[in-house]
Amino acid sequence: MSTVEMHPQRWGDPAAATDLPDSARGLVELAFGSAEPIPATPDMTLPSSGLAPDLLAGFRAAVGDDHVLTDDATRRLRTRGKSTPDLLRARAGDLSDAPDAVVRPGSHDEVVAVLAHANAHRIAVVPFGGGTCVTGGLAGPGPGRDGFAGVVSLDLVRMARLLAVDPVSMTATLEPGLRGPDAEALLAEHGMTLGHFPQSFEHASIGGFAATRSSGQSSAGYGRFDAMVVGLTAATPTGELRLGSSPANAAGPDLRQLLLGSEGAFGVITSVTVRVRRAPAVTRYDGWRWPSFGAGREAMRALAQSELLPTVIRLSDETETAINLADPEKIGAESAGCLMVVGHEGTTEQVTTRHAAVAAVLAGLGGEDLGEEPGRAWAEGRFRAPYLRDSLLDVGVLVETLETATFWSDVDHVYDEVKQALSSHLAGALVLCHVSHVYETGASLYFTVAAPAGDDPLARWAAAKVAASEAMTAAGATITHHHAVGTDHRPWLEREIGSVGVRALRAVKAELDPVGILNPGVLVP
Ligand SMILES: Cc1cc2nc3c(=O)[nH]c(=O)nc-3n(C[C@H](O)[C@H](O)[C@H](O)COP(=O)(O)OP(=O)(O)OC[C@H]3O[C@@H](n4cnc5c(N)ncnc54)[C@H](O)[C@@H]3O)c2cc1C
């Protein structure tokens, strides 16, 4: 498989890192004046690996000598994820919570053996898929190690096989370490697709998708990742779970849901069986312009509630539309309204029929058909945006994203409250938003914030994040629609699921992981 290691201080493939394009530099100066660049130190000072030799030997016995790594370069690449605070710490050379070792099992049985050894010696285990987490879910116990004998990053990179394909039932069983593109390539050999394309697709893994209940850009057509999972296996310190023996059942509560979204805190997902679809013969993405964000949202609701959702549907608010289309000379010109991208995938006949039906509804509601060019531009550039975040950090602009979801009747209110919270806690910020995922009953709002980084960007962002999280939960919206809980959202989880919900999570954790070695500090309040 073609796994490219990400840059330790930036998003993505190191070869694809770029300087800020000149056109964007002009925009930045107009919006924020001249900011102080945020340097990235080339120094790499990691605490030395603190695991005693006999403890390392136990892991070597489980997975083989070659797959227990303690060198600084490997441990650095398994330190935290890719949120903006993670990137700021990495730029500052803060690697204080690097794991003591990176352990790479090659099979379910090796994961079982690793967990048995870690459990016996109270060594914390942080499952690591693609490392694209943005909620502090890979943080691990810090420098004091909180009473653990050490911390290992359980890197699932070697478990990257397509284990089985059932073309009759249209399911496939995949190992957790497969990255998005590799999973799609293996399925393509069978004429199949998963249809899961989050913006982190190029680096995120199958196990990570399951462990965080990820949602991709084609969720309207293919569904969220958790909705695709028909079965899974997981290893826990107290035994294994093998779930999903039928397409549907009434055999009590659905225990798959205990592992989906469990973020490594209840067990290690060692395979998932997913529902797959036939690879589309045709894809078509169009742009539509709406006079306002509200008008576009009403159109989305109309489609969702008449079972006419396309494969992809997303809508940028006025600010995001203006920034995306902006060229500095046109700033202040007539409003571009709000851009919606509408995509259809399937056979020629399916795409033709659905395109016509959806276009008729959108035109009838006052949308302006912009043709395929904006849709094509979105499809071509959709995995490039995260690289721009690093280029903006380079020139002193803090950029971060957050997301939520709510019912249609509350979308307006949640949008206003979160936008207001971000603007008032981050002086000089530009707040952009788009509707990223749509359901019959509601939608997800995805905010992007850009602001001058100032002297202490970590503190500036922390204050804004608290304000936005308070605003979301006070308005009754979820703390996260698809980024998961990690450590960052944990303080707000009880507000969402209540104290009984928290006690239930703690009881599950106590049963599956009584010593508490699995991803301590993540998910469970
Ligand atoms: C630029 C960018 C864009 C993003 N876009 C999206 C998006 O469009 N949609 C979306 O849903 N998310 C998005 N994310 C968030 C992130 O990519 C997802 O949460 C993704 O599912 C994480 O997958 P991963 O393989 O990188 O997991 P990791 O980051 O490695 O791990 C995530 C969590 O799951 C645990 N974990 C990983 N593998 C396993 C396993 N096999 N068993 C048990 N626990 C495990 C980890 O311990 C950690 O707590 C984005 C992130 C970035 C940086």
204 lines ligand 1 (CB under 6 A): yes
For ligand 1, pick from 83, 133, 152 the residue to mutate: most ligand atoms within 8 Å of CB.
Answer: 133
Report pLDDT for 35: 80
- The predicted pLDDT at position 24 comes to 85
> Could you tell me which residues are beta bridge partners of residue 316?
434
Nearest CA to ligand 1 atom 14: 200
pTM for this model (two decimals): 0.97
Q: Which pair of structure tokens corresponds to residue 355? A: 């395109």
Instruction: For residue 255, give both structure tokens.
Output: 């225990």
Q: Judge whether 186 and 178 are in contact, CB under 8 Å.
A: yes
SS3 label, residue 172 = strand
Q: What is the pLDDT of residue 332?
A: 44
Q: What is the pLDDT of residues 6-62, one digit of tens each?
A: 999 999 999 999 899 888 888 888 889 888 899 999 888 899 999 999 999 999 999
pLDDT of residue 2: 56
pLDDT at 299: 98
**Ligand 1 centre and the CA of 368: distance in Å?**
36
Outline where 382-481 has alpha helix (H): 385-394, 411-425, 457-474
The verdict on the CB of residue 224 being under 6 Å from ligand 1 is no
pLDDT at 335 (0 to 100): 60
Residue 264 CB less than 6 A away from ligand 1 = yes
Q: What distance in angstroms lies between residue 98's CA and the mean position of ligand 1's atoms?
A: 18
Our mutation pick for probing the ligand 1 site, out of 13, 97, 115, 132, counting the most ligand atoms within 8 A of Cβ, is 132
Q: What is the pLDDT of residue 1?
A: 56
What residues have CB less than 8 Å from 44, skipping those under 6 apart?
Answer: 72, 73, 76, 93, 95
Contact 517, 124 (CB under 8 A): yes
ipTM of the shown complex: 0.99
Contact by Cβ (8 Å): 518, 125: yes
Ligand 1 binding pocket includes 85 (Cβ within 6 Å): no
With a 6 A CB cut-off, is 193 part of the ligand 1 pocket?
A: no
**DSSP annotation string for 305-365:** HTT---SEEEEE-HHHHHHHH--GGGTTSS---EEEEEEEEE-HHHHHHHHHHHHHHHHHT
In the three-class reduction of DSSP (H, G, I as helix; E, B as strand; rest coil), residue 106 is classed as coil
- Output the pLDDT for position 54: 97
Low-confidence ranges of the chain (pLDDT < 70): 1-2, 326-335
